[in-house]
Each structure stands twice: as structure tokens, then as C-alpha cells.
Structure 1
Amino acid sequence: MPSLVQESYPPHLLAQKLNNRGAYQAEQGYYESAISTYVKALKLSESSANHAPCGCRYCSLNTCMSTSASSSTSSLSPILMRRSCPQGHKSTPRPSSRKASQQQQEQEEDGYYHDDNDVIMMEDEEEVMPFAPVSPSFSVSSSYGTSFTQDPTEEPFNCGGYVYRHALRVHPHTIHYCHNMGVTLSLVIIFNLALAHHLMGIRRNNIKNTGSSSWNNSVPNMDVNYDSKALKKALQLYELAYQLHVDEQQMAATTNCATHHQQREDREEAQEQEGFESKRMGMLRFTMIVSNNLGEIHRVAKNTTKHVMCLQHLLSTIMYMVDGHFLMDNNNNNNNNNNDNQDNRIRSGITSRSNSSSGTTRTSISTFPITTTPTVSTEELDGFLRNASPLMLYDICAGAA
């Protein structure tokens, strides 16, 4: 009788795959399933949090955000959903006997057994999701007075404010070669957990406010107060993710100072500069995303003071990126006209704010250079500036008065 071949994957690799699976579930609107998947991934990532992270660009936070944006354009990315196996591992057939099933269960409890079909989907398979009842669409008025029709079971809308809603994914190169991302993986999973709670809270709050009786009757176990619970949980997780991000950067700065000379000998100067720029832009972009989403939660909760603080942090980060020429369109990297239009929009808003507050103008902002590292897309930047516009308009009105 042929022996059952099993494969033992390191926990951090399982966590990476589970994170990508949860990201797909969240983007399809199945937030409860995504949260459950993220929790499993976070537990598996704890063992690798203290390990030295891989220094390649595929394992950076900026690459995870770029992979997230590119993957969200399609409902199912073949690259991310393809079964991947690190070198030296063989595929695992499903258990065919009770003894094999018991052996599999024992290894699953230890967190080292892995069956690809249980962690990540095949290209030709569809994931079985929980049943979600469909309610009639209804009309919603945005903050600009435009009315549109939307189904509450679809991607949740945000009541006039922009919310960054792309779950972060681990790059396929990292998974295929079994790279250890260290604490960066925990940071990605915690952010995704926060985002899933945030979007679930928004959806249920919108459903409750619109009074969709057909939806509430079809989901009798739905907690009407869960919207506030979910948003509170999202708030805590966002803050935890940001604090972990700050601690990681401080630790990385200390490590880089100690090993600067050795790194320069091992790598080309151009590659080192590219990696440094990618990490710095990833730091700034993550700061903008967290500040924006935290501000939206405080706005909904009517915490005006904290809402303004988040907007100020967001606006100051945007100004820093503009002055450093870090901004560019993620989808149109080679389009100078888009960069010019983006530059003009930011210049008009930020220069007006500077004139009203101090009576002086900032240094002229030149056209954004074409670089090889994508940062903030036009969609993101428009949303960030729209959320921060009340702060800029308030400064202008206060200066005029």
C-alpha cells in the first residue's frame, strides 16, 4: 500500500497564503469569513514575528500595497490563487483512510500540516461562500448631491467619505520562494483585520440606517449594535497596526545604522537606493491610509477633535510627499499629462492653505518625475484630498475672516 505523502510547511508560509485568501474573501464582501481567516493567519505569524525579515523588495510593505491595488482590479487573480509550493516540497494528496485523517488532524493542531486545497483556491475552482440574501437596491445621496443606486449586499459605500478598502496581499514571489517577512507579515494581517471590521461596520450601519426590512428579516441573528462594535474594533486594530509600523521603522533604522557598511559591500549602490526609496514611500503611503481610515471612523463617531487630528496628519503627509516628489499615478506611470493634472490639483489646494495660514507661499512644486516605484494612485489621492478638504476650506475661511 503506498504511503501517504504529507508536506510540512513553515507557519509563516501558511500565514501568507491565509492572508491572501482572506483578502479575496473580504473583497467579495464576506467579511466574517475573512476575519476568521485573518485570525488563523495572525496566530501562525506570531512564531516568525521575532525573526529577521527578508530585505528584498518583494517582502516590503510597499510591494504588499502595490500587489493589493493591482489584484483588486479583477475578481480573482490567477497568480495569487494558483497553488504554489516551495522548493523541496511535494504535493499532498487528500487523506484516504481514517488513520491518515487522524494523522492530518494531529499535525493541523500543531500548525505545520498543509493541504493546498484547504488554504488557497485552485484556478478552476470556485470558493463556497456563506449564503448572502439579496435585498432590493435603494437610492443613496452622496455629499455632493448626486443620487445613485446601490445594493447593500455589494461593496459597501462610505456615506460621503473616502475609505481605503484594498486588503494587503503578499506578493506571489514571496510565497513561492518561502521568504520570511518577519514582523511585516503581522503588520499586514493586523491591517487587513482592521479593514475587514471597518467595512463590515460601514455596511451594517448603512443597512440599519436605510431600514431595509427584507434584509434584517432574512438575517435574524444580525446584531443591530454590531456596527459600533465593529468600528470600535477596527479603530483599535488600526492603532495597533500603526504602532507596530512605527516600532518596526525605529528598529530598522537602528539595524541599518549598525550594518550599513556591510550592506554596501553586498549590494550595488543603485539597488540599495531603490530599496530605500521603496521602503520610505511604503512608510508614507501606509501612514496616509491609516490616518485617512482612522479619520473616517472618528468622523462617523462624531469625535471632532480626533477627526481633525487625523486630517492634519494626513494632510501633512501629503504635503511632505509632494515636496519630495514621491507622488505619481499607479496606473499611468508613463503619462506626463496625468502627473501634471495631479500636480496642479495638489498645488492649488495646498498653496491656498499656505496663503491663508501664513501669508506666504511654499516653494514651487515641479512636475512629478517618472520613477520606477509606484506610490499613490489618482483614485487614492483624490479620496484623501476630498476627506481633507474641510480642513483646508476651514483654514481659508478663518484667514479671510
Structure 2
Amino acid sequence: MPISLKQKNMEGEYYPPQLLSQKLNNRAAYCITITKNYEEAIKLLTKALKLTETNEEHKNDDYATGGNNAKPRCNCKDCSLESCLIMEQDEFMSLLRMDQTTQTTQTQQDQQQQHSQHSHDEHHQDGYNPSKKIKKETFDLDDGNDDEGFVYGRPLLVNKVCIDEMHNMGITLSLIILFNLALAHHLKAISIPFTVHSSKSKISSSSSTTVTQNAKSKLQVLQQALQLYELAYQLRVDYIQQSQQDELLSISNHDNDNDNDNDMDISNSADEVYNQSMIGSLRFTMIVSNNLGEIHRAAGNTEKHTMCLQHLLSAMMYMVDSDLLVLESSSMNGFYSNVAPIMGLKKKGVFAQAA
């Protein structure tokens, strides 16, 4: 079904751009996680990113003209990047199912109103296949050997309360969408078959051409993923600077309040926010470093691959020294497996099991 920048809810009302971006992001996360339909996810996320850019432009114009239509950015915990990063797996899957149920209801209503053959044809041209299973964690671009690497493949979801209450997430939403767009490209590249199986002893010229085309296509999509990861990481730097400014403003407002009754509560809340921020920051650093490293490994950029692994290992060592639980054991095992070679461990997984 084609995607419009203006979509209606079940009451026939148009979604505000911010809300539609949030919904498109979560729907794309469903495509990435459940259906493995990476092409559809990329379409949804591209639309969502355009909407956030358009929304920011309109807000800037409104501020410039002194208007009051621009909704201030929300600084609540649920709108923070850290909250989206450290979402528990059960909550993650529950939110995915909830979003899909809503989307299914909306789709059924749309199909009752529109019986266009054009929409039917586009649906099939997208290659949608819910039963398609793709091994997203490992791939090898070189020569079919057993040197596979782990790729972190869980996208980021917008919290339910942010959608229900239509929070203005500001730069956080752009960062979430950008990361998911990078991940969708990365997993799409992994899903491109590199080896053509043939019953004949010799590979035909057509099969050889297919292998070459697939290799070029894979590398092209990996390059897109690389650039998007780097953009997401840079945007995260901007996010940190903005968060620090918000924190200073909050402290200043509290000092001007001169109310000491709630000092203990504020102190406890600040500690909780700090711990959440630390865990979220480490998680994002480890995920991006790991996935960037896998892209460089696949492309044969040995030096950059090693640099990413060293960055990942440094973050992991800090995590251990700080006694922090940053990621679930399955992801940590994958990270340990990837950094094993630079630690002098020939057999991957040994360090992970020992940890």
C-alpha cells in the first residue's frame, strides 16, 4: 500500500506530522523485527524522517514570526533517547504487537473503502512476505567461509505514552528514526544472497553475473548504512549537548524556586536519570561501534574494522568496571564474539561463555 505524508486515523482525521512520524517509526520497527520486510521499513522511515524535517521547519518559521502554534519540546523521561534505548524486551514486543493490531484495523478499513487494483499490485511488487525468515545476525561477504560476525538487529521504538499524549520529542525522534533507517539498510544488505547454489559442477555465466551483481548491490547498501550510522552518531553528540543545556536550565529553575522540601526527591530523581543516561549512552556506543565494525569487516576495511572493535571493547571494559548491566546476555555474547580476535582469542564465543 502506498504511503502518504498525510494519513488519517480511524476517525478520518489527519495525524499531526510529529504523531505520524512516531507511528511510522514503530510500524517500520515491526517490519524490521517481525516480517523482515526491510524495503518497506526503509520506505516508512524515509517518510517519517521527511515529516520530522518538515515539522521542524514549520516550528522554526512559527518561532520566527512570533506565533504560538509551535509546541515546546517535551523533556519528560519517556521522550529521552535513553528511555527508548533501555526498553525491556517484553515491553518492546508488547508495543510492537499493539502497534501492529492498530495498523491491521486501519488497513482493513482502508481496504473496505478502496478496492483499487493499483494498490494491490504495488503491495505485491514490494516483495512483502511475512513468513520469510532471514538470518540477520551473521553474514560474510568474502568467500563463504565460516568467519561470521554478530550484528545487533533490534530497532528503537517510540514509547506508547509519547504517542498517546502526542509529545513533541524534538531531536530524539529524528535520532531514533535515523538509527532505525541505518539498521534497516544494514539488515537489507545482509539479506541479499551472495552465493548462487547450482546443481551443476561448474557455475554458469549467468550465475556468475548474479553473484557479481549481488556483491555490488550488497556493498552499495552497506555504504548507505555506514553513512546513516555515522549521521546518527553525530546527531547523538548534538543530542547530548542539548540534554546538558536542558539539565543546566532545570537546575537554575530549581535554585530560583528556593523550595527545600523536595530536595531529596529531586536528588533521587537526578541519580536515576544519570544512571539511565549512562546505560543508554554505553548501549548506543556499543551498538553503533559493533555494527559499524561489521560493515567495515564485510567491506574488507581491516584498519577501520579494528578501530571499531577497539572502541567497542573499551566501552565493554568500562561497563564491567562500573558493574553496569547494559544489554541482554545474547547481545553481549555477540559483542564478545566479535572482539575475541583483537583479544588474542582464536575461537569466537570462548570469552563470552567465560563471562
TM-score normalised by structure 2 residue count: 0.70
- Structure 1 residues 227 and 11, CA, compared in 2 at 3 Å: closer, same or farther? same
Match of 2:36? Answer: 29
Q: Percent identity among equivalent residues?
A: 41
Matched, 1:244 2:235: yes
Matched, 1:208 2:194: yes
Q: Aligned runs of 1:81-120 on 2, under 5 Å? A: 81-83=100-102
- Offset, 1:274: 1.3
Please identify, of 255-264 and 52-61, the stretch whose mean Cα deviation from structure 2 is larger. 255-264
Q: 2:305 aligns with which of 303, 307, 310?
A: 307
- Offset, 1:37: 0.5
Match of 1:381? Answer: 332
- Offset, 1:6: 4.1
Aligned length: 286
CA contact (8 A) 1:68 1:167 kept: no
- Offset, 1:128: 8.3
Match of 2:90? Answer: 70
Please identify, of 40-49 and 279-288, the stretch whose mean Cα deviation from structure 2 is larger. 40-49
Q: 2:78 aligns with which of 44, 58, 79?
A: 58
Name structure 1 gaps, 5 residues minimum. Answer: 85-92, 99-117, 119-126, 135-150, 328-374, 396-401
Q: Which of the two has greater helix per residue?
A: 2
CA contact (8 A) 2:86 2:279 kept: no
Q: Distance in 2 between matches of 1:13 and 1:132?
A: 25
Root-mean-square deviation (Å): 3.6
Match of 2:155? Answer: 167
CA contact (8 A) 1:163 1:293 kept: yes
Match of 1:336? Answer: none
Q: 1:14 aligns with which of 16, 20, 35?
A: 20
CA contact (8 A) 2:79 2:162 kept: yes
Q: Distance in 2 between matches of 1:169 and 1:272?
A: 24
Residue identity in the other structure for 2:297: R
Q: Distance in 1 between matches of 2:217 and 2:279?
A: 35
CA contact (8 A) 1:48 1:180 kept: no
Please identify, of 154-163 and 300-309, the stretch whose mean Cα deviation from structure 2 is larger. 154-163
CA contact (8 A) 1:201 1:230 kept: yes
Match of 1:399? Answer: none
- Offset, 1:57: 2.0
Q: Distance in 1 between matches of 2:268 and 2:344?
A: 42
Q: Distance in 2 between matches of 1:162 and 1:274?
A: 31
Q: Distance in 2 between matches of 1:379 and 1:297?
A: 20
CA contact (8 A) 1:69 1:166 kept: no
Residue identity in the other structure for 2:41: A
- Offset, 1:309: 0.8
Match of 1:321? Answer: 319
- Offset, 1:130: 4.2
What whole-Å deviation, never above 9, does each CA across 1:234-257 have from its counterpart, x for those lacking one?
Answer: 000000000100121023223322
Match of 2:182? Answer: 194
Matched, 1:232 2:223: yes
Q: Distance in 1 between matches of 2:38 and 2:133?
A: 11
- Structure 1 residues 30 and 257, CA, compared in 2 at 3 Å: closer, same or farther? same
Q: 3-state SS of the aligned residue for 2:39? A: helix
Name structure 2 gaps, 5 residues minimum. Answer: 1-9, 61-70, 104-108, 140-147, 200-205, 347-355
Match of 1:39? Answer: 46
- Offset, 1:52: 5.5
CA contact (8 A) 2:150 2:334 kept: yes
What whole-Å deviation, never above 9, does each CA across 1:85-119 have from its counterpart, x for those lacking one?
Answer: xxxxxxxx879999xxxxxxxxxxxxxxxxxxx9x
